Amino acid sequence: METSLGKPNATAIFFFFVFIVMTLGITGWAARKTKTTSEFFAAGSKVTGLQNGLALAGDFMSAASFLGIAGLVASSGFDGLIYSVGWLVGWPVVTFLVAEPLRNLGKYTFADVVAYRLRQTPVRIASAIGGLTVVAFYLIAQMVGAGSLVNLLFGLPYEGAVVAVGVVMLAYVLFGGMIATTWVQIVKAVLLLGGATVLAIMVLAKFSMSPLRLFDAAAAKYTVSVLAPGKLVSSPVEAISLGLALMFGTAGLPHILMRFYTVPDARTARTSVLYATGFIGLFYLITFVLGFGAAVLVGRDTIKAVDKGGNMAAPLLAEVVGGTGFLGFISAVAFATILAVVAGLTLSGAAALSHDLWVNVVRKGKTDEREQMLVARVATVVLAVVAIVLGIAFKGQNVAFMVGLAFAIAASANFPALLLSITWKRFTTNGAVASMVTGTVTAILLIALSPTVQVDLLKHQEALIPLKNPGIVTIALSFIVGIVVSLAKPEPEAQSKFAEVARRMHLGPTH
Amino acid sequence: MHAMDADRERKLAALAAQRWRVALALTGVMLFTYFGFILLVAWNKEGLGALVTPGLSWGILLGALVIVVAWAVTGIYVRWANRVYDPALAELKKED
């Protein structure tokens, strides 16, 4: 098949510029409404349930999940569904365990909740380390993805693409803060869901609108094994471990948790996750159809010839069923997706740097609005520069494992401390710090020694640790360390303030 | 913070405990469903590869069902919280 992928595509460039002009317009409007830190970090807590649901879904429907899962399904069929399902089931857990307590107890970051009744300085430093590590790995994966994607889609040089993403994203966050970031995320979520749905309908139209006929056609073309589990899940331990990290990682991602502060109350927080779960589940079902569509209509060989990782399955499919114009549209949407996700990540990193480290650790909570805003903006610029530098430094590296690493750290470093701080009276400052540090360090260490890095990346014969997904070990360790250290030395002040936490968690800040 | 009398403190504690029970029970359902699916994938690859009808394997059917369960438990929780928990909480707040 002849593809125009990789050649400058007039439609792609047109849609891309429309998106940039529109989102910069939104940023200009948002900038006029962004005067306080509450507006900068939490959009003044005025976002509605549906809006936040779309924004949450937008944060989660990254280019990696759109292009990556469609590619995985195209190349290995059923196995792609295992990832989709794992990524979705974290959301009900977020709804049940953390959404409402976060909204009622915190202000801008998840550290607000962990540190509520504990000593501020040590807890804020430890949670900033956990949070920033997650953000850093996630950012590297997104920036490297952005560079390669733009290179593949439009034929632009890698470095130019990374700088362009960094600069546009900086404009959103620096001037428009959370208001702009939320709206960019909403626009992108609608475009991505809409584009993917139209593409799926065009594919299914060729199979009398029946997904089963499509799957059957795939089975006829590549044998029925495409509908059965393949090599992805090799052992039960590995499977449970991956599942735990995907499930609890969502409840520990700083840029996701931060979104619960953008809504006015606990009720809106829970409604917004219901919307998000609906959109994300639907999106994964559609992506599954797209993957099979690409396998049948484009063909595995063609997909692999364009990109070894299979990431171009969805854009190629768009070209086959909708022509160059539709390819351009889908490419522009994929790029917009990266921009929006990177903006959300940067904002949550800036919140950790300025709100947790500067305001609460360096200044002990004694700062005025002016200084807080200044520090927040300086932190944003610093992070944007770091993101661009890291994006260029990791050029050509296989960074797919870094999203998994980010989830493993989020599940092991942030989630246990967050959960223990709102449920267990005897949790202490030392316990929280020990738990978060253990989670961060062990997750990084076990992945560095795992077959993913040692064998796949460094080409060593074997790895010290046989486990690819460390979650089962690191999440358990983080809970155990947090509990043991807390029991070893009780903290009476923290215990006495637990009643207040328990009340406010349910009643909200005004009661 | 307003002072609450002992009776309302007790009611609030009971309501809070009820919310945690509902939340943990539904978390349990989600964990059980998901890990059940994953363990089937790990242990019974052949069974999941068997076809229900042409084009549909048990694996795809059950995978899609896990997504439906995720929707359902979230929906059940939000409905319960909006209809039972929130009004009870509002009642407690009003007595302040």
**For the CA atoms of chain B, what is the radius of gyration?**
21
The yes-or-no verdict on residue B1 having pLDDT over 50 is: no
Tens of pLDDT, residue by residue over A379-437, are: 999 999 999 999 999 887 777 678 888 999 999 999 999 999 999 999 999 999 999 99
Number of domains in chain A: 1
> Does residue A496 belong to any structural domain of this protein?
no
Rounded Cα distance between B83 and B81, Å, is: 6
pLDDT per residue as tens digits for the range A267-297:
999 999 999 999 999 999 999 999 999 999 9
User: Would an 8 Å CB–CB cutoff place B75 in contact with chain A?
Assistant: yes
What's the ipTM?
Answer: 0.93
Tell me, what's the pLDDT at A399? 73
Look at residue A226 and tell me if it is in a domain.
Answer: yes
Cross-chain residue pair B55–A211, CB shorter than 8 Å: yes
pLDDT band at A309 (very low <50, low <70, confident <90, very high): confident
At position A398, the amino acid (one-letter code) is N
Q: What is the mean pLDDT of residues A216-231?
A: 91
Around A428, how many Cα atoms within 13 Å sit in the side-chain half-sphere? Answer: 15
A403 falls within a domain: no
- Residue from the list A210, A224, A239 with its beta carbon closest to the beta carbon of B38: A239
- Smallest Cα distance from B74 to chain A, Å: 5
Q: pLDDT tens for residues A35-76?
A: 999 999 999 999 999 999 999 999 988 877 788 889 989 998
Per-residue tokens: A252 = 């520990």
Instruction: Identify from A232, A506, A510 which residue to disrupt to test chain B contact, counting B C-beta atoms within 10 A and taking the largest count.
Output: A506
Share of chain A above pLDDT 70, in %: 98
> Cα separation of B74 and A460, whole Å?
44
Q: Which of B42, B48, B77 sits opposite A236 (nearest CB)?
A: B42
Q: Is the pLDDT of residue A15 over 90?
A: no
- Residue A298 is assigned to a structural domain of this protein: yes
DSSP state of B52: E
Q: Which of A61-70, A87-96, A117-126 shows the lowest per-residue confidence on average (mean pLDDT)? A: A61-70
What pLDDT, on a 0 to 100 scale, did the predictor assign at position B96?
58
CB contact under 8 A, B49 and A229: yes
Average pLDDT value for chain A: 91
Question: Over A219-253, what HEC string results?
Answer: HHHHCHHHHCCCCCCCCHHHHHHHHHHHHHHHCCC
Tell me the sheet residues that pair with A491: none
* Chain A residues in contact with B67 (beta carbon < 8 A): 84-85, 88, 281, 284-285
- Alpha-carbon distance of A58 to A339, in angstroms, equals 11
Band of the pLDDT at B3, cuts 50, 70, 90? Answer: low
| Cβ contacts from A onto B, under 8 A | 154
- What is the identity of the amino acid at A209? M
pLDDT score, position A510: 67
In-domain check, residue A425: no
Residue of chain A with shortest Cα separation from B47: A228
Report if residue A421 sits inside a domain: no
The answer to whether position A3 is within a domain reads no
Q: What is the pLDDT of residue A2?
A: 67
pLDDT tens digits for range B60-72: 999 999 999 999 9
* CA-based nearest residue to A260, from A28, A91, A129, A433: A91
Q: Do A92 and B66 touch (CB under 8 A)?
A: no
Give ∠ CA A449-A65-A444 in degrees, rounded to 5: 20
Mutate to test the interface with B, among A96, A271, A422 (most CBs of B within 10 A): A96
Chain B residue closest in CA terms to A89:
B70
Does A229 contact B59 at a Cβ distance shorter than 8 Å? Answer: yes
Contact, A291 vs A73, CB < 8 A?
A: yes
Q: How far, in whole angstroms, is CA A124 from its chain's centroid?
A: 22
Nearest to A277 among B54, B70, B96 (CB): B70
Does some domain include residue A187?
yes
A201 membership: H or E segment, kind and range: helix A158-204
Interface of B with A in 12-41 (CB under 8 A): 12-13, 15-16, 19-20, 23-24, 26-27, 30-31, 33-35, 37-39, 41
Helical H segments across A77-119, by residue range? 79-93, 100-105, 111-114
Q: Residue A239 is encoded by which pair of tokens?
A: 């499977």
Contact check, Cβ <8 Å, B82/A239: no
Mutation target to probe the A interface, by most A beta carbons within 10 A, among B60, B84, B85 is B60
Answer yes or no: do B67 and A88 touch at CB < 8 A.
Answer: yes
B38-50 pLDDT, tens digit per residue, is 889 888 888 999 9
Q: Enter the tokens of residue A342.
A: 């990177």
* Residue pLDDT, tens place only, A150-184: 877 777 888 998 999 999 999 999 999 999 999 99
Whether the full predicted model's pTM is greater than 0.80, yes or no, is: yes
Residue with tokens 């159809």: A289
Query: Residue A320 maps to which CATH number?
Result: 1.20.1730.10
Q: What is residue A1's predicted lDDT score, i.e. its pLDDT?
A: 62
Dist. CA A262–CA A274, nearest whole Å: 16
Helix ranges (H only) for B1-96 are: 6-43, 45-49, 58-80, 86-94
Least confident of A224-238, A412-426, B11-25, B62-76: A224-238
Helices B6-43 and A498-507: crossing angle in degrees, nearest 10, is 80
B49: nearest CB among A210, A212, A227: A227
Rounded to a whole number of angstroms, the distance from the CA of A421 to the nearest CA of chain B is 14
Q: Is the pLDDT of residue B30 over 80?
A: yes
For A349, the domain range is: 10-28+45-396
Contacts of B74 in chain A (CB under 8 A): 91-92, 95, 273-274, 277
Which pLDDT band holds residue A187 (cuts at 50, 70, 90)? very high
The amino acid at residue A71 is G
Q: What percent of chain A has pLDDT over 90?
A: 65
- Taking only the tens place, the pLDDT of each residue in A451-467 is 888 887 788 888 888 88
Check A78 against B57: CB less than 8 A apart. yes
